Amino acid sequence: MIKREKGLLIVLSGPSGVGKGTVRKALFAQEDVDFQYSISMTTRKPREGEVDGVDYFFKTREEFEQLIRENKLLEWAEYVGNYYGTPIDYVEKTLNEGKDVFLEIEVQGAIQVRKAFPEGLFIFLMPPSLDELKNRIVTRGTESEDLIQNRMKVAKEEIEMMHEYDYIVVNDQVNLACERIKAIVMAEHCRRERVEHQYKKMLEVE
């Protein structure tokens, strides 16, 4: 196992309903994946089966706005009427321990993270088609018809932001998307290993 000074910040983003949550859960169920998942804060109400501190830290709007004022969030966004944000302390502490941190966030947040952490690895999860995206949102059954229309409109705007990302991964099949993400992270580590100062001792001439 290579000991790294600083971990890699991996950001998985993409339109709502593309399968970010599904792919993230499938990735974290695999034994060879040792990314640390950053649990987000949200003012959205818990869905059935969601657990505070596991799926999200569920907050009131007042609590969330205080976190914003106290600069406790690396990024935050208001998305379809609710706040979502990434706690900064966890991300910095974990990266400084040399561990890779994995964020699964929507597009506005990812763009903020890109500004704060340009050295991060930004992956855009793409639906095979817009029809399939709509199918997935409808099948999930968590949204009313109004919200589905709203999410489709936002989704089209989000897909236009794909050029801001380092890689695009099509989520045609969950297991294939996971393999692509793992391959990208592995390649990115190898690319960064080139940096010579990491091998100063090895290169020193006696």
Ligand X SMILES: Nc1nc2c(ncn2[C@@H]2O[C@H](COP(=O)(O)OP(=O)(O)O)[C@@H](O)[C@H]2O)c(=O)[nH]1
Ligand Y SMILES: Nc1ncnc2c1ncn2[C@@H]1O[C@H](COP(=O)(O)OP(=O)(O)O)[C@@H](O)[C@H]1O
The helix (H) or strand (E) run that includes residue 167 is strand 167-170
Contact pattern from residue 186 through residue 205 relative to ligand Y, giving x for each residue in contact according to CB under 6 A and a dash for the rest: --------------------
13 is in an annotated binding site: no
Comparing CA positions, the residue from 115, 121, 116 lying closest to residue 192 is 121
Conformation bin of residue 19: beta by default, left when phi > 0, alpha when psi is -120 to 50? left
Binding span for ligand Y by CB under 6 A among 19-27, 60-68, 70-78, 107-115: 19-27
Shortest distance, CB of residue 205 to ligand X, whole angstroms?
48
Assess 120 for contact with ligand Y (CB under 6 A). Answer: no
Binding partner of 158, given ligand X, ligand Y, none, CB within 5-8 angstroms per partner class:
none
Binding partner of 44, given ligand Y, ligand X, none, CB within 5-8 angstroms per partner class:
ligand X
**Which one of residues 85, 136, 158, 178 is an interface residue with ligand Y (CB under 6 A)?**
136
CA dihedral 148, 151, 157, 161 (to 10 degrees): -130
Within 28-67, which residues bind ligand Y (CB under 6 A)? Answer: none
Residue 149: φ, ψ to 5°: -60, -45
Binding partner of 136, given ligand X, ligand Y, none, CB within 5-8 angstroms per partner class:
ligand Y
Report the C-alpha gap between 185 and 191 in whole angstroms. Answer: 10
Token representation of residue 184: 């990208």
Angle between helices 145-159 and 130-140 (to 10 degrees): 140
40 is in an annotated binding site: no
Residues linked to residue 103 through DSSP beta bridges, in sequence order: 11
Q: What angle do CA 29, 91, 73 make, to 5 degrees?
A: 120
Assess 21 for contact with ligand X (CB under 6 A). Answer: yes
- Which residues sit at the interface with ligand X, rule CB under 6 A? 16-17, 20-21, 40, 44, 75, 77, 79, 84-86, 104-106, 109
- Which residues sit at the interface with ligand Y, rule CB under 6 A? 16-22, 136, 139-140, 171-174
Binding residues: 14-21
